[in-house]
Structure 1
Amino acid sequence: MAAGDTVEPGYNLHSLHCYFLKGGLDQPILYQVEATREGSTYCSRSVKAIQNGLTLFTMQCSFKKQESDSFEHQFKMPDVPKPDELKDRSQLYKDWIDETDPSDESLRSILTSDLREAETDTCEVRPVYPWRFRRENGDKPRECLWIRAKQPLGHDLHIHKSVATYYSDLFMADIARYPKPYIPGIHAFFVISLDHSVWFHQPCRPDDWLLYELECPCTANGRGFIVGRIWSPDGKLVMSVAQETVIRTAKAKL
């Protein structure tokens, strides 16, 4: 949003590439924006997020003016159930809690905390493959999720792209750990984003349903690489996403 405030009307964000350098505190953050290029079609910005004199985050982003071209091509959207045919993530947590042994207080406590987090999120999430939701025995590092903002976002396209970028980071790191079994309270992972890149192909509205298709081609040397495609309900590929994340396994302390 800070970078977008520095460009002239008519320029739209088309790509961004960022690094997460250091964790922040619950304190104000200064966003420092540098104009690195001004062109007739493209312009670029460099952004630093600074807190207490330390750089937490850096980003390069590029904006361009709209242009038309007769040549277009895209992959086909996956053939998956529609959102109204699927359960929300909150309901899946409720079902899991109901099926949990009442004497397993540790697991029930963790799931209840996850449920509260899901209910207070700004977005609604409906997993396409609900059996992968628990990952008790591990699974293929692939996922599809329908996601949308719970509140209308108005008509500012820059706000739409900013929110879509924020949502694009929420679930990527989890895909890297899918092949390993995961039972809350038994298995633990340290997972955190290292870098994140987004390319916008078409306009998108995150306050309408978007299908988020994710896969992790490789995890090695303490890092997972995740790629994603985001589709509009009418089958347009609106965004592509890539991320590298730190991932380490550990035995949880009960």
Structure 2
Amino acid sequence: MNQVLANLVHLLTLERQSELEFIGHSQDLGFPQVFGGQVVGQALSAVQQTVTDRTPHSLHCYFVRPGDAKHPIRYSVENVRDGGSFSVRRVIASQFDQTLLVMTASFQSFEEGLEHQDAMPNVPGPESFEAELALYRAHAEEIPERVRDLLTAERPIEYRIVENQNPFRPRPSIPKRHMWIRAVDTLPDNEAIHRSMLAYTTDYGFLETALHPHGVSIGHPSVRVASLDHAIWFHRPFRLDEWLLYVADSPSASGGRGFVRGQIFNRQGQLVASTSQEGLVRVQGRETK
């Protein structure tokens, strides 16, 4: 397996301290705080290890405090209920006895039922687009020197954005994004790993969709963006080492907050997961449009 991808799989595996206690280490991505997707992915990894014969169908998170990437994170799981078909778990992620994130996750035994879904958007396949990493490398001189090496380094997940543009000189556009995502190498045949990896990935570039109409990006020094909550619904099995289309839109921004919704399709057009998030969106020194 590609070493960068193997490092991420290891990051999301966690060290089990007891039946309901886990420790996760952090990675420094060049931001002042831990990447929110890391905490979501690790929290899901923790709760998945406390439920047998059932798979998660939804999770809801609140980000309470930013985490410190230089220190490990403790994940404490509470068994809320094991019913006839569903199980519910609650997990608190903390550092220095302070809560970083609270997640509630629901699990269900497999069963047949009615099926319908939205149609997959008709966009060109991933072969039509360059990796986002290539764009960052092409504009490396515009990246602050302190984070240049981190932002142009090899990544475990490849992102190919349909509406790609220079992230350092963005133009106003509609609040919608289509992004092809895939792990850079083959992952183990373990559905729990694929779900934790997808949870990690869904936070990347998601809230940025709310900035599109205003011609600013998270790379701008006047922009402050932080996730407040995050939710994921798993609809169907999937593999993250095969291309998935992540469709995001932002129907509203107000009160210093932006709201985004997402749908994730496989290449066969199946809707495999849905997401939503609200986050802090502040632009200092200018009015948002």
Q: TM > 0.5 between the two?
A: yes
The alignment of Structure 1 onto Structure 2 pairs a total of residues equal to 241
Q: Aligned partner of 1:52: which letter?
A: F
Question: TM-score with structure 1 length normalisation?
Answer: 0.88
Is 1:94–1:115's contact at 8 Å kept on the other side of the alignment? no
2:56 maps to what in 1? 13
Gapped regions of structure 2 (runs ≥ 5): 1-44
Structure with greater proportional strand content: 1
- The alignment status of 1:207 with 2:250, answered yes or no, reads no
Compared CA separation, residues 129 and 43, structure 1 to 2 (3 A): same
After TM superposition, the structure 1 = structure 2 runs for residues 23-42 of structure 1, keeping only pairs within 5 Å, are 23-25=66-68, 26-42=70-86
Counterpart mapping for 1:2-151 below 5 A = 2-8=46-52, 10-25=53-68, 26-69=70-113, 71-96=114-139, 108-110=142-144, 113=147, 116-131=150-165, 136-151=170-185
Q: Is it true that 1:249 corresponds to 2:283 in the alignment? A: yes
CA distance in 2, matches of 1:111, 1:79: 39
Equivalent residues of 2:260, 2:276 under 8 A apart: yes
Aligned Cα RMSD in Å? 2.2
Equivalent residue number for residue 222 of structure 1: 256
Q: Indicate if the aligned counterparts of 1:181 and 1:187 stay in contact, CA closer than 8 A.
A: no
**Aligned residue identity for 1:59:** M
Match of residue 102 from structure 1: none
Mapped partners of 1:92, 1:112: distance in 2: 18
**Whole-angstrom CA distance in 1 between matches of 2:269 and 2:166:** 24
Contact preservation (8 Å) 1:110, 1:185:
no
Encode CA deviations 1:48-90: one digit per residue, 9 max, x unaligned: 0121111111000011111112x21011101111111111112
How far off its partner does 1:144 sit?
0.3
Shift of 1:156: 1.0
In the other structure, the counterpart of 1:161 is 195
The structural deviation recorded for 1:132 is: 7.5
Letter in 2 for 1:149: A
2:211/2:217 contact within 8 Å kept = no
Query: Which of 108-117 and 32-41 deviates more?
Result: 108-117
Amino acid at match of 2:177: E
Aligned-pair identity in percent equals 35
Q: Deviations over 1:142-164 (max 9, x none)?
A: 00000111232201111111111
Shift of 1:41: 1.0
Deviation for aligned residue 1:93: 2.7
